[in-house]
Each structure stands twice: as structure tokens, then as C-alpha cells.
Amino acid sequence: MTLELHPGECLSLVGHNGAGKSTLMNVLSGNLAPDKGRIEVAGVDITGCLTPQNATAHGVRCVFQELSLCPNLTVAENARISHPSISGIGWRGDARRLIGDKLDEVFPGHGIPADDMVSDLSIARRQMVEIARAFAVTTAEARVVILDEPTSSLDTVAAKKLLDHVRSYVRSGGTCVLISHLLGEVLDTSDRIAVMRDGGIVALDRASAFDRNSLVKAMGSVVEAVTDRAAEAAAVRDTAPVVVQATPGASRSSVLAAHRGEVVGLAGLSGQGQTELLVRVFDRAPGTTVDGEVALVAGDRQIDGIFPLWSIAENISIGSLRTFLKGMFLDRAAARDFADSWRDRIGIRTPNVDNSILSLSGGNQQKALFARALASPAQIIVMDDPMRGVDIGTKQEVYEMIREEAAKGRTFLWYTTEMDELRNCDHVYVFREGAIVADLRRSDMSEERVLRASFRADA
Amino acid sequence: MNMIAAMFRQPWLWAWLGALAAWLATSAFIGGKGSGEVMSAAMTFGAFFVIVALGQMFVITLGPGNVDLSIPACMTLAGTVSMKAMDGAATMIPVGLALALLVGAGIGVLNYALIRLLRIPPIIATLSSSFVFQSAAIWWNRGLRVKPPEALADLMTAKLGGMPVIALFVILLTIAGHLLLSRTIYGRGVVAIGQNMRAARLAGVKTERIRATTYIMCATLAGLCGYLLAAFSGGAALNMGEEYLLSSIAVVVIGGTSVAGGFANVPGLWGASLFLFLLVTMLNTFGAGAGIRLVMTGLIIIGVIVAASGGRNRT
Amino acid sequence: MSGFFSPRLLRNLLPPLSLAALLVAIFVLQPRTMSYFGLNLLLNLAIPITLATIAQMFILCVNELDLSIGGFVSLVACIVATWLHDTPLLGIAALAGLIAVYAALGALIHLRNLPSIVVTLGMSFVWLGLAVLVLPTPGGTAPEYVRTLMTLKPAYVPFPIIASVVIALVVHIFLMRSAWGTVLRGAGGNPRSLERAGWSILKIKMTMFALAGFFGVLSGIALVGLTTSADANIALRYTLLSIAGVILGGGEFVGGRISPIGAVIGAVTLTLAGSFLSFLRLNPDWQIGAQGAILIIVLALRVLVSRAEKRQ
């Protein structure tokens, strides 16, 4: 694929989770080196020599989703960090003026004092500072400004101001790349829209050539057929008792309920409150009713899951240590045999469970985490997008196992960002901005309905 | 062949090899005469370091930021309180011991309460509490040096089959510590927390309960060490714990325990404390002054940590 | 809506208020301290502690910790009382070398990604050992000019007060107000963002460690000026005092949140807390305990303030 950015245009990137938007942006900002392909600026090939440090000199500015301000500095001081030319006597006044003027220009009436500590600002205000800093110009001009979900934490008024500014910036000859899941603002603001899926661009055209429906269609894959399990799933929901009941953090949300033996899917874009809900169920936080023990399968293996210094056997058995107690002490041989038997059952590809967990591939590490949860006595398993970066073969094996365990009466809460996996669920709740916005039975579930619910209809 | 390779991967090996080398060098220098006494002294003095280092090891294993800085104050307070309570009476020996352990446990509870309630890093919590405990010890002591009961003092220097009794006792204690670390739910929990606190919690480890237990156990061991050391050295002195602050951390690190947490090693504690003592003895017999000994100790600590580091991948 | 008693203001006022409360208590208990000589006596020892606290603050600002500053100040004191007095050139070269070692430590910790707590722990043995080598038995003589400087008797305001204010202002202007200092602090707050903007974290760490070494040297010089002689253990307790002083002054362990003025106030508060009890005519045994208690009380107050802040 080739993506050309012209001066004086705003190009939007849309796509579902993992479509490759953020990766593309990281390549453009020099944070990731491209595996292949070229980056040219004004006809000059700069592939390989683009670093975050000189991206600014090339006129590329980024506003990242995770904010990159220093929380211990003031607004003006943060401007100094990314604009090294501000220095010398009276630098503080220059920095204040630079960031203050830009804030006034982009967000008139913002009310952010330039001498306030960033950590004391609300998320929305931090986002405004970050955006204003990217548009501010000292020595190098801002030729391309990349905005990754810039309005996600802004209210509608501030978002409107930003989009207006994008238009006027574009009119004055600048280039803007806008990544957003708010289809309304994408359609209104951009000159062209690129729809991404699976790391490639599947549609690229003038914004006026799209409407909301055609965008959703382009983001999804081919039409699906309703599977035959629909009837069976409905039966479970009607007869089995409820074992988990939980309400997400946001007000005005429906309640999530899971029945015994059910596989319940939590869908929506990533970071819409699904993980938080799972952790609350795991912690039995106030506002949740949980009937039975809970085990969790972490999605972010490195942060939430594996113990890197331990063997595979130790990583599996930590979830069910109580069962190996012989008097005061743990029976290590039993724990090892136990891990061994689970290796065979779940198909972890290793000659020896005493090998380090890091000797396994990502997919097999994930299997070990599944083994930890499934091997535990817990009857409720919550899964936090566990299949991220796992190969398709492993996925099929795990899906099969989840169905088997559910048939035996275990209950699964399954947060997933992949549309395919929702087909394995009996019931699906779609999350948006911390709330449940759709409650879909198996028979009603379709990719289009999930997408429609995931992307806010208004705005 | 494989077994030898496995041997060389044991983290405690280097501390033990170092101890052995220092002992051999000392023995060679003094012509073999008295090398047994040197070892015996090393076992006795090393034992005291091992007691506090055992507790410190569990604390450090909990992960970055976890260090107990109140160990010296705790030792001094437990030592003075118990010596004063016994007042040299042999019948009071068990009472004194119980008091020392109680003082330690109490300090541990207070430390953990500060960590939890003030939500401050353990290093600052134990630092500020140690000031208070140190003062309490000074106030309780009133400059007096109460002698330990004679029977207790004798026990400290007694030998059983050529081995100091105190060393035998601490060997039993370290075996218990080793079992606690590797064979109990508690021990597994400590190691899991040290590797990744969030993952441990999500794997069902009772993280706060384990952290509390660890701080209480560490302070209790310090209290025990204060009691034994006071009995050994003829009474509690106000500065008796001083060198144990940095040394307890040094013994843990040289012994092969990961200072980033998540990996602990009990045999290494003995190797490291013998090594540190024998190194000092060796330099002593070579005629090196205190200055050289301290510089060497420091450089070895830094050398160990540089050798053990794998480069830029701290989390 | 920056209300007059907003939690943020309260948080910033906590260190000076604790110092003021302590001073008032001392004046009430012992009115004679409210004189030129009384204050001079009361605050004299605060100068070296303040300087050591500032040194520790530079290290904490980049999310590291220095367990060796006490040993370092002791070593400097020994060098000042011997070499700097006898052979000034050698003394100056040695002190400059020590600062270079500090910068190298910063580089080592950053490049090898070592835990600073263990490296500085090892260094504390090294400093102490070197101090013993330089000055095996307590003694030495302070150079005359150092002695003169530390016993200055300026009109109206006692020297320790002037010195503390000057130290606080100089460091404040450099670290909190200058363009350079802003970058140095940013490295504690969000190192990734700094790297993205093209700054070198290695250089920043080395600078901060060198600054810590520099202030450690100043602390040692000031200490010898007051005590006129030195010994190898003279400043060992500065390690814990300096950490406590930074925290007391509103600094935090991570995130580059520090305050030079607060650190100076914290150090002075700790010094005063030590002598406070002797004025209470209570047991002087509780001197160190009072330092600990004040630290705990201030930290507890801070928790209360930040809770109020969260509720707002």
C-alpha cells in the first residue's frame, strides 16, 4: 500500500482494533523502523534515518494516545521540553507565550494557566496542552501533525474547537493525519479517508464518497452466517442460574449477567472499561455479585500474567497451590506431575515443564496462563483479551477447550477485541466509554451490530 | 558434566567460593595454625549476620523499594529491653527471649501499618520509624549496660562437637527459612510478588497478607538477633546494630538474591556472611588496615551487582 | 477557583508551617533562643545537613537514591581537614576527582541499568574506607579560611540563616527557574518524553550525580569549618537525615517532584527537632525519636491533604 499525504489536506485513518493505525503512526513518527517500504518527505528518501529526535526537524509532530507530558512540570515548562530553542534569560515568558497563544488559538476560552502543574490538570486539559504543543512552532515548522484519538477525552465543545482548528490549519497549507473512532467527526473533518484492516488499507477515497454505513461495512470482514449454536445458547440463558452480576463504572449502563455454563463475550473497542470490569469481578468489588471462585487469564502477558523468573511448571501451579499442600509443605513432585498433565492436555509445546517460561513462544506462554486458570478449582474464569498475538492454530485449540469446559458447567467472561472470537460466545455485551451499550443474544449478534454499537452514533 | 554446569549456575556458588578462597589465603598466611579458630569465629560472627539477612532477604524479594531500614534500631531496642528484663537472672532467660521476639514483632506491625496507612515506600516508612525505635532504646537503656545471664552468655560461646552452638542454631533457622521460601504457599507468594505484584494479585496470591507477614517476620528476626548479640557481647550497646544496616543488605545481594526482587537464595546468605567476615580476617592478617578492608568490601558489592546485571531491562 | 486554602496550597505550605510551629514552640519554651546568638547556636549544624540534603535531592529528582552521601561527606571532611589544609592543590584535585567519580556513578547506574540503592550502598563502604585511610584517627585541622567563613558574624541576621536562604535561592533558581533545570527535572517526570524530544538521559543523570557530588563536597567543607577537626564517622547519619529532609520538604521518591526550598526547610526542621526536646527539658534521649516522629506526622498530614484533594 502507498499512502500519500498532500499539503493542505486532512486524511483520516479508521479501522477496528489491531487494524494497524497506531503502528503506521509510530512508523511516521520514527518510533518504529519500518520492516520494509520507504518513507519519503518532499521526494527525499528518509527511510532508516527517521528517529523521534529528528522527526520534529522534518516537520512531523505527533499527539500520542498515552500522553507524553512531564506531569511534574508546568504547562509552560513542558513547552520548553519539546522546543529546545526556548532558552536563555526570559525563556519562561517565551514558553508561556508560545503555549498560551496556541491554546488561545486552538481552544479559545480554555482557561488553562500556563504556570499550572500538569499533574493538577484534568485529563481533558492535559490533552489540550499536548495538542497545542504539537501545533506550536518555534524553529522547525509543523508540516504534518498526526493526531491519535485526539478527542477521546475532550468534551464536545472542545472537540469541535479542535476540529475547526484542524480545518483552518489545513487551509493554511498544513497536513493533518487524524485517527479516530468517531465516524461523525471523521466524515466532517477529513478530505480523504483511509479504512484499514489487518495492516493494510482496504478503502481510500474522498470523504464525500463515504457515509457512516459504508465506513462500517468497509471496516468489517465478509458477511457471516449465524451458527447453529444459537438455540443451545438461548437454552442456557433461560435455565441456568446467574453466577456473576456486575455493573461497569460509568453511570447509565446496563448490567452484565453471566449464567452457569455460559461463555459471555465483552466486546467493543479496546480500553472501554472491559478490563476494569473483569478485575472488579475478580476482586469481588462492591457492586458485583459473584457466586464461586474466580480465576483470571491475563491478556497482557508481560504486565499481568507470567512470572518471568519461573519455570513453566511453577507458572502453571501458582493458581492452585492449595491443592498440593501436604501438611505444611507443598508437594513439589505432585505440582510438577500436575503441570505435566496439563501440558499434555492443553498442548504446550515444550519437552520439559521445568524449562523457563521464557523459553516458550508467545502463544505457548498464553497456553500456560490458560492452564493456570483452567487447572485451578475456580468455576468462573475471566479472560482479559487473552488471544492477542496468538497464532490461529493455538486459538482453535483454546476455543475448543473453552467450549468443553463451559459444557462441564464452568462460566467464562471473555473480553476480546477480535470479532471472530465473539462467534464463540453465547451472549455478547458491547462496551463504550465505560458503559454497556448493547446486550446481544447469540442469535442477534452480527459483526455489523457490534461495530455500530462500538462507534458512537452521534458526534 | 551437566551437573558441574548446573553447579556453576547456582547463585550461591560465588559467595561460597569467595569465602573458601579467603579462608585458604588466611590459613596459608598464618601457616595453618589456628585456621580452625578462624573458621569457628567466622561461623559465630557470621551467624548473627545470617539471622538479620534472612529477614531482609524476604523483604528485598518482595520487589523494588522494599528494604527494611529499621533493623539496627529494632536489634538495639530488643536487646536492651530483654537484657534489662532479665537483669542477669538465669530463670528469666525464656522471658527475655519472648520479650525480644515480641518487641520485634511489634516493630514489624508498626512498620507495615505505616507502609499501608501512609502509602509511602517501605524504605521511608522503616527509615522514619527507626528513628523512633532508636530513641526508645536509648531511653530504655539509660546508658547502663546490663549484663546478660551468665548461663545465656556461656551458651553463646559454647561449642558442640567443635561447632559453635549459635552457628548450629542459625543453621537450623536457615533450613527452616529455606523450606519456608521454597516449600510453602507463603514463600511462593513472596517470590511471585517480587516478580510482578499485579500478576501475583491476579493469579490469586494474597499480596497484602504476605507483605504484612514478611515485614513482621523480618523485624522479629532482627529482635532475635538483638537478643542473641547482646547476650554474646556481654550486654546491649546502643550502637550494636549499626553495622547491620548496610551489611544485611550486602549479605543478601552478595548471596545471590536479586535486588530487583522475585528471586531469593538462602544458602547464599551463609556463603556471603562467611565471605565478608573471612575477607576482613584475611586482610587483617595481611596487615591491611580498616580502610582497605572497607574499600574492598564496597568494591566487591559493586562488582557483584555489575556482574549480575544483564543490561538495560529493568522494569 | 484557586481557593485561598486549596489542598494544593496547603500541601506546599506544609513544610514551612511545620518549621514555624517548631520554632514557635522552641521560642516559647526557651525565650533566650530568640536572640542572635541563640539562633546561631541552634542552627549552626543545619548548614552541612542542608547541603547534604540538597545533594540527596538531586539524586532523588532522577528517581534514584543515594545511600552513600553520609560516607561521602565524611570523606570530604577528612580530606578538607588534612590535604586541603596541608597541601591545598592536592586537596582541591582530590575533591574535584570525587565529583567526577559521582558523575561516573551516575553513568554506570544508567548504562548498566543498576539499582542505585545497591551501587551507593557499596560506595558507602568505599567512602568510609577511604576516609579511614586519609585520616585513621580523629583529628586534622580546618583550613583557616573555611573556619573564618563558618564563624562569620554578620550584623543583625545570624550566618546560618543567611546561608540557608542563599542555598535555597541559588538551587531554586537553577533547578526550578532556569531552562536547563527544567529539562533536568523533566527527566524525573517522564524520561521517555524527554528522549522523544531529543534530550540525552545519560547526560542528565551524570549532571545530576555530579551536582550531588558538588553539594556533598560543600557539605563536608562546611562541617569541618564548624567542628574544626574531622573523623571518618563524622557524617554517617547524614545519609538517613538527607533522605528524610527531602521527603519532609515535600519531595517524593519518584516522578521528579522535588523542591529545593522545601528540602532546605526540611533539613532545618530536622536539625531543630533534635534540639527541641532539650528545650522541653524532657529527656534528651528522644532527640532522634523526635526527628522520626516529625517525619511520620508530616507524612500523615500529607496523606490527609492529598485525600482532601482527591475528594475535591
Phi, psi angle pair for C76, to nearest 5°: -60, -45
Sign of the alpha-carbon dihedral angle for C1, C5, C8, C12: positive
If phi > 0 it is left, if psi is from -120 to 50 it is alpha, else beta; for residue B256 that is left
d(CA C289, CA A204): 71
State how far the alpha carbon of C105 is from the alpha carbons of A407, B315, C66, C246, in Å: 60, 20, 11, 21
* Chain B CB contacts of C283 below 8 Å: 139
Taking 70 as the threshold, does the pLDDT of residue A458 lie above it? no
| Number of Cα atoms under 13 Å in the Cβ half of residue A215 | 29
Nearest by Cα to B59 from B172, B207, B211, B278 = B211
Closest to A77 (Cβ–Cβ): which among C182, C188, C199?
A: C182
Q: Which residues contact C21 (CB under 8 A, 6 or more apart)?
A: none
Q: Which of A81, A87, A125, A139 best tests the C interface by mutation, with the highest count of C CBs <10 A?
A: A81
Sorting pLDDT into bands at 50, 70 and 90, what band is A224?
very low
pLDDT number for residue B13: 82
- Residue C122 C-alpha, separation from nearest chain B C-alpha, in angstroms: 4
d(CA A206, CA A419): 27
More confident residue, A364 or A239: A364
Digit-coded pLDDT (tens) for A147-206: 988 887 787 788 889 999 999 999 988 899 998 877 888 888 899 999 887 778 888 888
d(CA B2, CA B9): 11
Phi, psi angle pair for B148, to nearest 5°: -75, 160
Q: Does B36 touch chain C (CB under 8 A)?
A: no
Digit-coded pLDDT (tens) for C157-199: 899 999 999 999 999 999 999 999 999 999 999 888 888 788 8
More confident residue, C243 or A200: C243
Pairing relationship of beta strands B159-160 and A435-441 according to DSSP bridges: unpaired
Instruction: Enumerate residue ranges in chain B where pLDDT < 50.
Output: 1, 311-315
Contact (CB<8Å) C113/B313: yes
Digit-coded pLDDT (tens) for A77-110: 999 998 888 888 889 999 999 999 999 999 988 8
pLDDT number for residue A459: 40
d(CA C11, CA C21): 16
Q: Does B161 touch chain C (CB under 8 A)?
A: no
Closest to C125 (Cβ–Cβ): which among B64, B121, B294?
A: B294
Residues 224-263 of C with CB under 8 A from A: 255-257
Chain CA centroid to CA C205, Å:
18
Contact (CB<8Å) B309/C112: yes
Sorting pLDDT into bands at 50, 70 and 90, what band is A70?
very high
pLDDT number for residue C2: 42
Q: What DSSP character marks residue A455?
A: S
Nearest by Cα to C127 from C207, C70, C48 = C70
Whose cell is 532545618? That residue is: C268
Q: Which of A329, A369, A383 best tests the B interface by mutation, with the highest count of B CBs <10 A?
A: A329
Closest to B298 (Cβ–Cβ): which among C111, C112, C123?
A: C123
Sorting pLDDT into bands at 50, 70 and 90, what band is C13?
confident
d(CA C159, CA C37): 10
Nearest by Cα to C27 from C40, C38, C16, C14 = C38
What value does the mean pLDDT of chain C take?
89
Give the least confident one: A215-229, B248-262, B290-304, C74-88.
Answer: A215-229
Whose cell is 479496546? That residue is: A270
Kindly report whether the global pTM for this prediction surpasses the value 0.90. Answer: no
What average pLDDT does range C122-128 have in this prediction? 93
The H or E element containing residue C51 is: helix C46-61
What average pLDDT does range C257-261 have in this prediction? 92
What average pLDDT does range C87-93 have in this prediction? 94
Amino acid at B254: I
More confident residue, C212 or A51: C212
Q: What DSSP character marks residue A117?
A: B
Assign B289 to helix, strand or coil. coil
Nearest by Cα to B135 from B220, B74, B87, B82 = B74
Total CB pairs under 8 A between chain A and B: 57
DSSP for A325-371 reads: EETTEE-HHHHHHHHHHHHHHHT---S-TTSBGGGS-HHHHHHHHHH
What average pLDDT does range A219-230 have in this prediction? 51
pLDDT number for residue A419: 77
Q: Which residues contact A163 (CB under 8 A, 6 or more apart)?
A: A151, A185, A188, A189
Cell of A305: 500474567
If phi > 0 it is left, if psi is from -120 to 50 it is alpha, else beta; for residue A142 that is beta
Q: Does C136 touch chain B (CB under 8 A)?
A: yes
Taking 70 as the threshold, does the pLDDT of residue C38 lie above it? yes
Closest to A321 (Cβ–Cβ): which among B185, B198, B258?
A: B185
Strand partners for A325: A330
pLDDT number for residue C207: 97
Q: Which residues contact C168 (CB under 8 A, 6 or more apart)?
A: C260, C261, C264, C265
More confident residue, A433 or A128: A128
* Chain A CB contacts of B191 below 8 Å: 307, 309-310
Contact between residue A247 and residue A253 where contact means Cβ atoms under 8 Å apart: yes
Sorting pLDDT into bands at 50, 70 and 90, what band is A457?
low
Cell of A83: 522546543
Taking 50 as the threshold, does the pLDDT of residue A388 lie above it? yes
- A82: nearest CA in chain C? C197
Q: Which of A322, A330, A413 best tests the B interface by mutation, with the highest count of B CBs <10 A?
A: A330
Percentage of chain A beyond pLDDT 90 is 22
Amino acid at A319: G
Digit-coded pLDDT (tens) for A257-291: 899 989 999 988 877 888 889 999 998 888 888 88
Contact between residue A298 and residue A384 where contact means Cβ atoms under 8 Å apart: yes
Closest to A120 (Cβ–Cβ): which among C8, C177, C183?
A: C8
- B182: nearest CA in chain A? A330
Closest to B128 (Cβ–Cβ): which among C122, C130, C244?
A: C244
**Sheet-wide strand order for A288-290:** A256-259, A242-246, A288-290
Taking 90 as the threshold, does the pLDDT of residue A141 lie above it? no
If phi > 0 it is left, if psi is from -120 to 50 it is alpha, else beta; for residue B235 that is left
Taking 50 as the threshold, does the pLDDT of residue A405 lie above it? yes
